[in-house]
Structure 1
Amino acid sequence: MSDPCMKLVLVTPEIPYNTGAIGRTCVALNLELILIKPYGFSLDEKAVRRAGTDYWKHVNLCEYDSWEDFITDRSPPRESLYFFEEHGAQSVYAPEYQPDAYLVFGCESKGLPAAILDGMEDRVFNLPMRNPLVRSLNLANVATAVIYQAMRPQLGG
């Protein structure tokens, strides 16, 4: 039996470069990348492959037609779900991440749908920003920062 592994979930991603860059990070850390449709692009687009460089073919990728399909198929325990939003009530530094965590991010323009977050307020986290002039950060940058924070114990940090 293999060790539990974190998974990164992108709900309705819109920008191929972000998805490609996140896929490359997933390959580097042996994480599964789960994509929830619809996408704002085709996975066949050069932009996805370019951002993922020649690593895209190595992405451990799983796709779902909807959030409901994902929940039905995976049945993730509530305590393994971590949602990331700029207005999350807690910092990404607060939790002790489960080794089999699902790190869930929404689309670039709207974030996660309210229906997904309903009743999960205690599971929503933010990446702190010190300057109020910045509304949000690039999804690929945030996802990478979160992944490394969540994996600190596994990476020897």
Structure 2
Amino acid sequence: MKQKYVVLLDNENGKLSIQEYAELDKEMLSLLCEEAYDAKMIKVAMQKDRNSLIQALRTHNMYPPGAYTERIADAIIEMFQPGANTSAELFFEERDLFESPDEEMDLEDKEEDDDDGEGDSTMDVDDLLDDDTEDDYEEKGIIKDLQKTIKVSDADTGSDEA
């Protein structure tokens, strides 16, 4: 799912607002939540430390995942710098939350190996479809020695008498 957060700083009214949008329909973002904060409160939290800012941004109505909140906090810190923009749009893909940097590096390494053509240990499709089943298992006694593990009940003869 795609998500977008719009952060707006209104210096005249001393307000900071964050709007959360999500892709509920294909290629169409819908407003899910809007939260307004006192800009002075955000400045105080920002001066303490980054975690205080993140805690101040999270509410019962708006509680974005940690990775999202980190980027939102970065944007807010930037907004409070002299001469900075007073708005920011942040876009997120939910699937990015589930990919670790190690997995991405492994995938990139694998793609590079595949591009070389060397070290390709994958089987050819024709080998998989090869119909070489000429082994006669009955002659080897494999099929004859199988033991039945399911027994039919005496009461269950398999015939329907009605």
Q: TM-score, normalised by structure 2?
A: 0.25
TM-score, with structure 1 as normaliser: 0.26
